[in-house]
Copies of this chain bind each other. A is one copy, B any other.
Amino acid sequence: MPFKSIQPDRRRLADEVYDELIEAIINRDIGLEDILVQEKLASEMKISRTPVREALMRLAQEGVLEVSNRGSFKLYRMGDGEVKELYQSRAAVEGQCARILAVRHTAEDISILRRTVEREENLTDQTVRTYFEANRNIHRTFVELAQNRFLLDMFNMIWGKAQVFPLFAKIEQIDLSQSLGDHMRLVDVIERGDRIEALETFTNHIQDGFDLQMQGIHAS
């Protein structure tokens, strides 16, 4: 019997709400001053408060939202200091992945990386969002190949927070291609196999991304 489960993971309403909220945040439908009221969201989506509440709490646990007043939620506002901390934590996670990959990588790994970089650096349009996603996809490929689910979880958490943030930057004001063009060098350093050099190179690359980010913020 070759049939497989129809619903691999039963999708609950809370998941839908979660996705919709993320989408709304990215699209700036939810702003920094908005207070997310369970009843309002529920009635807008024509469902009950329960799944809304669940989604809100998940987002809060992930650090996308924070508790406002008496248990209400609002967008988490990152300051410059925290952006720096976020990039430091990126360096921790992705640097370690680079280290792992430098020590044990297959020829197949390298070829996957090369192909991914080539594909993703070929942007269809020049919006901040496509740039963000291309960049994320490239970096995620490194992490996935390192085959460590905890590091991957951390990666997703960091980039989940990041995604609600960087859209402040305006595409006209910074040269995004500057950062994108750099990725093939990262593959090279992994292929070379020196774990310390790999970690340093990744750390520097991420530091550059941070500088670019800060330029973008302070220009606007």
Contact = CB atoms under 8 A, between A and B. Distances in A.
Contacts of A86: 150
A100 B88 contact: yes
Given A95-B96, A96-B95, A154-B154, A89 B148 contact: yes
Given A10-B71, A153-B63, A96 B85 contact: no
A153 B64 CA distance: 14
A123 interface: no
Interface of A: 10, 54, 57-58, 61, 63, 70-71, 82, 85-86, 88-89, 91-93, 95-97, 100, 147-151, 153-154, 158, 161, 196, 199-200
B88 A149 contact: no
B148 A88 contact: yes
A150 B196 contact: no
